Copies of this chain bind each other. A is one copy, B any other.
Amino acid sequence: MPQDISDILGYSAAFLTTIAFAPQAYQSWKTRNLEGISLPMYSLFTTGVALWFFYGLTIHSMPVIIANAITLVLSAIVLALKIQQVLKKK
């Protein structure tokens, strides 16, 4: 498999899995409807993305740092809105 095809796959994958959280953050912010969203998922995922961000710092990889910084902000928005919803119900 030529290196350039492999690179295209990698960059496309990084792009999609990073921007994927934008429509969710936007929908959650606009509708404040987070009924079907799992709090454990966003807690684990946001923590994991934060670790990816620090991992990127330790290996000095800008793509890993930038992609995970963006995903961290987006998933943290959804996590915060979900925590807010759960606290309101108590």
Contacts and interface: CB of A to CB of B under 8 A. Distances in A.
Interface string A14-49: 111111111110111001011111101110110111
A9 B54 CA distance: 7
A1 interface: yes
Nearest to A50: B13
A23 to B, nearest CB: 4
Q: DSSP class of A's interface residues: helix, strand, loop or mixed?
A: helix
8 contacts: A13-B49, A13-B55, A16-B45, A16-B51, A20-B45, A28-B36, A35-B35, A35-B36
Copies of this chain, tallied across the complex: 2
A15 B48 contact: yes
Interface of A: 1, 5-6, 9-10, 12-24, 26-28, 31, 33-38, 40-42, 44-45, 47-49, 51-52, 54-55, 58-59
